[in-house]
C-alpha cells in the first residue's frame, strides 16, 4: 500500500497549500482566472453583436456559415495555438507586435479558440426564442432594432450560458496556453500548464493542489450552467 500512502500524503499537502494560500498556488490560480475572464469578456463583445447580426439577417450561405461555426466548436487547441503562433512569431505577419510568450498573446489565442463556441451558442439562444416575440413588438409599434433588442433580452439566459461555457472552455484548455505563453513562472504559467510541468518533474503536491482548484472551478461552472438552464425552463 506504499502507493496509497504517497497519494494520501500528497493530497494532504495539496490541501495545506490551498488552505494556507501558498503564494505560488495563488499566483497561478489568479493568472488563470484573469486570462480566462479577459478572453471571455472580449469574446462576449464580439459574439453578441455578431451573433445577433447573423441571426437577424438573411443572406445566401447563412446555414453554411452557422454550420461552419458549430464545426469549429471542436477545433483542437494545439491547432489554434499553431495558427496564432505562426501569425505572431518573429517571422509572422504580426511579429512586429512582439507579444510572443506573454499573457496578451494567451488571451488572443483563447479568444480565437472560444469565440466560435460562444458565437454559435448565442445564435442558438436567439433561434430558440419564439418568433412571436419580435412580431408582437413590431405590432405594438417597435422598430426593427427595438424588436431585435427585445429578442436578445428574452434570450439573456441562453447568452449567459454561452458566456459560462466559453469560460469553462478557456480555463481548462492547455494547448494554447502552453504554446503561446511558454509556461514561464510568475508570468504566463496557468493552472493547466503548471499541472503538466509539476507532474512531469514529480512535484505531486503542487500538481494535486492545482488540480483540486481546477476541478472546483469546473464544478462551479457546471453549477452555474444548471442554474441557468433551470431558469430558462
CATH number at residue 190: 1.10.3720.10
pLDDT digits (tens, 9 = 90+) for 207-220: 888 988 988 888 88
- In tens, the pLDDT along 22-52 reads 999 999 999 999 999 999 999 999 999 999 9
Q: What is the mean pLDDT of the chain?
A: 90
For 100, phi and psi rounded to 5 degrees?
-60, 140
Whole-angstrom Cα distance, residue 27 to residue 193? 13
Q: What is the pLDDT of residue 7?
A: 73
Give yes or no for a contact between 205 and 13, defined as CB atoms under 8 angstroms apart. yes
Looking only at Cα atoms, what is the longest distance across the chain?
75
**Domain of 194, in residue numbers:** 2-232
Q: What is the pLDDT of residues 91-104, one digit of tens each?
A: 999 999 999 999 99
Q: Where does residue 201 rank: exposed (0-12), middle (13-18), buried (19+ CB within 10 A)?
A: exposed
DSSP letters along 68-84, please? HHHHGGG--HHHHHHHH
Tally helices (H) and strands (E) across the chain: 11, 0
In total, how many domains does the chain have? 1
**What does the alpha-carbon distance between residue 73 and residue 86 come to, in Å, rounded to a whole number?**
21
pTM of the model: 0.90
Question: What is the residue whose three cell numbers read 503538466?
Answer: 196
pLDDT of 1 > 70? The answer is no
Mean of the pLDDT values across residues 56-74? 92
Amino acid at each position: 500500500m506504499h502507493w496509497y500512502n504517497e497519494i494520501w500524503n500528497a493530497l494532504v499537502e495539496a490541501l495545506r497549500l490551498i488552505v494556507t494560500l501558498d503564494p505560488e498556488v495563488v499566483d497561478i490560480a489568479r493568472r488563470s482566472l484573469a486570462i480566462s475572464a479577459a478572453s471571455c469578456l472580449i469574446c462576449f463583445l464580439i459574439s453578441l453583436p455578431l451573433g445577433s447580426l447573423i441571426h437577424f439577417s438573411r443572406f445566401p450561405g447563412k446555414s453554411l456559415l452557422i454550420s461552419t461555426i458549430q464545426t469549429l466548436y471542436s477545433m483542437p487547441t494545439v491547432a489554434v495555438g499553431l495558427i496564432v503562433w505562426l501569425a505572431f512569431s518573429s517571422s509572422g505577419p504580426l511579429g512586429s507586435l512582439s507579444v510572443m510568450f506573454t499573457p496578451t498573446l494567451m488571451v488572443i489565442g483563447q479568444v480565437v479558440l472560444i469565440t466560435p463556441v460562444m458565437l454559435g451558442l448565442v445564435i442558438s439562444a436567439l433561434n430558440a426564442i419564439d418568433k412571436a416575440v419580435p412580431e408582437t413588438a413590431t405590432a405594438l409599434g417597435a422598430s426593427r432594432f427595438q424588436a431585435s433588442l427585445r429578442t436578445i433580452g428574452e434570450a439573456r439566459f441562453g447568452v449567459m450560458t454561452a458566456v459560462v461555457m466559453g469560460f469553462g472552455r478557456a480555463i481548462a484548455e492547455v494547448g494554447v496556453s502552453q504554446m503561446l505563453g511558454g509556461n514561464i513562472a510568475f508570468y504566463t504559467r496557468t493552472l493547466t500548464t503548471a499541472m503538466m510541468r509539476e507532474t512531469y518533474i514529480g512535484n505531486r503536491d503542487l500538481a494535486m493542489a492545482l488540480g483540486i482548484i481546477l476541478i472546483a472551478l469546473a464544478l462551479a461552472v457546471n453549477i452555474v450552467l444548471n442554474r441557468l438552464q433551470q431558469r430558462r425552463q
